[in-house]
Amino acid sequence: MDLKQIKLVIDLMKRSDLTEFAVEEEGFKLKIRRGASGSPVISGQSYGGSASPFPTHSAPAPAPAAAPAPAPVTLAAPAAPAGDEAGIIFVKSPMVGTFYKAASPESKSFAEPGTKITETSVVCIIEAMKIMNEIQSEVKGTVIEVLVENGSPVEYGQKLFKVKQG
């Protein structure tokens, strides 16, 4: 992992509600956590006795006092606000990354308005840390609207697709 990738993770953390990020690769471990001031606190460890390949900040992070457990990841949830149409569900992003409608620029989009999807249909790809993650809808219905532009950054829990259940 190079400094550019670390800066990307920090930038994504600043723009989202993500409070902690950890990765372990061959040769080093990286953990980034929001400090009391809301700014990222980075700690890293290089294996093999060499110095860490990235700067570290040792600002003290407060110990969480009986912090609630994080909620489980849910890709789709019924629309709760009053005034929304009955039977409308949103497919939400399970992670922070870059949204892609298709496997490549030349490929057909996974889901467009009018596309019928099932619980196992791949609806998009989200790139995170140079890994392409296929996102399944987990709902059955018809796509009404794509809420995100191709190539744009998305946050955890952000609505990606509006789906008419059924």
- Looking at the chain, which runs of residues are DSSP E strands? 20-25, 28-34, 40-46, 76-78, 88-92, 97-100, 116-117, 122-128, 131-136, 141-146, 153-154, 159-165
Q: What is the dihedral of CA 45, 50, 53, 54, to 10 degrees?
A: 50
Q: Of the ranges 64-68, 104-108, 118-122, 142-146, which one carries the lowest mean pLDDT score? A: 64-68
Q: Which whole number is the average pLDDT over 47-51?
A: 49
Q: Which whole number is the average pLDDT over 39-51?
A: 51
Residue 18 — very low, low, confident or very high, per pLDDT cuts 50/70/90? confident
Q: Which whole number is the average pLDDT over 120-132?
A: 92
CA dist., res. 34 & res. 134, Å (int): 28
Residue 153: Cβ within 10 Å count: 17
Residue 9 sits at φ, ψ, to 5 deg, of -65, -45
List the domain boundaries for the chain. 3-49, 76-165
Distance linking the first and last C-alpha atoms of the chain? 44
Structural class in CATH, domain 76-165? mainly beta
Residue 15 sits at φ, ψ, to 5 deg, of -90, 0
Residue % of the chain over a pLDDT of 90: 39
Which residues, 6+ apart, have CB-to-CB distance to 130 below 8 Å?
5
pLDDT value at residue 70:
43
pTM of the model as a whole: 0.50
Residue 146 — very low, low, confident or very high, per pLDDT cuts 50/70/90? very high
Query: Over 80: is that where the pLDDT of 60 sits?
Result: no
